[in-house]
Amino acid sequence: MHHLDIFGELALKLGTDPRLWSYNKGRMYYWCPGCNQYPTQINALLTNALAGELEALRKYHAQSEWIEDGHVRAILNRIIADEELHVHIFRSLLTELSIPETAPAESQEQTCPDLT
């Protein structure tokens, strides 16, 4: 949640609304708890967590390429370093538990639109 606080503060400083939403195909999609997956098996929990970190890294790297503001890029690069640490931790846990790194488990009900 620390990164969420950072992004919220940054949005306010940049004069924009810090809502959790994405624009896709001409529509605004707001975040809701249905966007989360809550697996109950440790292998699905860890692989989903790892997949989320890898997707965040992909997005943050892409954003840092086109954002020109040096202050914003510095914040993104710091968060990227945190996410890389999280990836290392999740991969270490998967290895320790002898769980193969596979595709994340799908939730039973998909209520959050695909925004990628």
The CATH number given to whatever domain includes residue 65 is: 1.20.5
Confidence (pLDDT) at 106: 53
107 secondary structure, DSSP code: P
* pLDDT at 4 exceeding the cut of 70: yes
20 belongs to a structural domain:
no
Domain containing residue 52: 41-99
- The pLDDT score that the predictor gives to residue 92 is 96
Neighbours of 53 (CB within 10 A): 20
What pLDDT shows up at residue 94? 95
CA–CA separation, 115 vs 29, rounded Å? 8
pTM: 0.78
Per-residue pLDDT reduced to its tens digit, 8-24: 999 999 998 888 887 78
**Would you say residue 25 has pLDDT above 80?**
yes
Contacts of 4-10 with C-beta under 8 Å, sequence gap 24+, read 6/75, 6/79, 10/72, 10/75
Is residue 79 assigned to a domain?
A: yes
Tell me how many domains the chain contains: 1
pLDDT, one tens digit per residue, over 29-70 is 888 877 777 888 999 999 999 999 999 999 999 999 999 999
Rounded distance between C-alpha atoms, residue 99 and residue 59, angstroms:
26
